[in-house]
Amino acid sequence: RGAAKRMYVLRPQAEETAEKARLGLMMHGVSFHEVWEALSAFQPESIRLASVRLSKADLNTLRTAANSLAGETDTDRIVDIAGGFFQTIAASLDNKVMLVVLQSLNLLVMSSLARVIEQLPNAGRRIGEAQLTMIDACAAGDGDKAARWMRRHIDDLKRGFDVAEVDLSSQIS
């Protein structure tokens, strides 16, 4: 006989779980409107919590990335930086449930963000300004201001969908 085989279990990383949740939601026909509605509900509270949990290193990383958006014109780069902001906020919460939920929402919206950014020449600057305002509020421990600005930022995304003529009732694919 050969050597005995042992079974082992691998615990998936949050990113893998979020990706599986994203795929599952897409298979169930989730719409842009549903994702926007979920972002509107979850993201303001997530940044409110992050305002007391972000480390100085996180704040510096976020600030550097947001500052780079001002002159950025490459759509893929803007999407990556914008998505990285939300991923850092989610990771800073130290809450596994919120991490998976927020990351899966971020992945869903990032797939459509390029369409919006391509239609709005000043998108990088606007995203960067909103992010810097939220970062400053977090650095000052002002969760209410950060949440207000996150609401504005998410509402701005909806306006971007409208400008890019994204049918909010259509399924994300």
Neighbouring CB atoms inside 10 A of 56's CB total 8
Residue 31 in 3-state DSSP?
strand
Residue 150 is predicted with a pLDDT of 98
One-letter identity of residue 115: R
Question: Residue 121: its pLDDT value, please?
Answer: 82
Structural domain for 68, as ranges: 30-163
- Run of H or E residues at 170: none
pLDDT at 141: 96
What's the pLDDT score for residue 3? 65
pTM for the model stands at 0.86
Q: Report yes or no: 40 and 148 within 8 Å, Cβ to Cβ.
A: no
pLDDT of residue 112: 82
Residue 25 lies in a domain: no
- Using CA atoms in the order 44, 155, 89, 53, what is the torsion angle rounded to 10 degrees? -30
| 66 lies in some domain | yes
Residue 130 lies in a domain: yes
Structural tokens at position 86: 């939300």
Residue type, 169: S
Q: Tell me, yes or no, whether 42 lies in a domain.
A: yes
Chain-centre distance for alpha carbon 117? 15
- Locate 170 and state its tokens: 């259509």
Number of structural domains, the chain?
A: 1
Whole-number pLDDT of residue 4:
66
Quick: pLDDT tens for 138-148.
999 999 999 99
Q: What is residue 2's predicted lDDT score, i.e. its pLDDT? A: 57
Residue 139 belongs to some domain of the structure: yes
Flag whether 111 is in a domain. yes
What is the chain's pLDDT, residue by residue, as a tens digit (173 residues)? 556 677 777 777 878 887 887 788 878 889 999 999 999 999 999 999 999 999 999 999 999 999 998 888 899 999 999 999 999 999 999 999 999 999 999 988 887 888 889 988 888 999 999 999 999 999 999 999 999 999 999 999 999 999 989 899 998 88
Residue 71 belongs to domain with CATH number: 1.20.120.530
Give a yes or no: residue 16 inside a domain.
Answer: no
For residue 114, the Cα-to-chain-centroid distance in whole angstroms is 13
Q: How far apart are CA 104 and CA 140, in angstroms?
A: 28
**Among 149, 142, 151, 129, residue whose Cα is nearest residue 51:** 142
Q: 93-109 b/e with 16+ CB inside 10 Å = b?
A: beeeebbbbbbbbbbbb
- Is residue 39 included in any domain, yes or no? yes
How many CA atoms does the CB half-sphere of 23 hold within 13 Å? 6
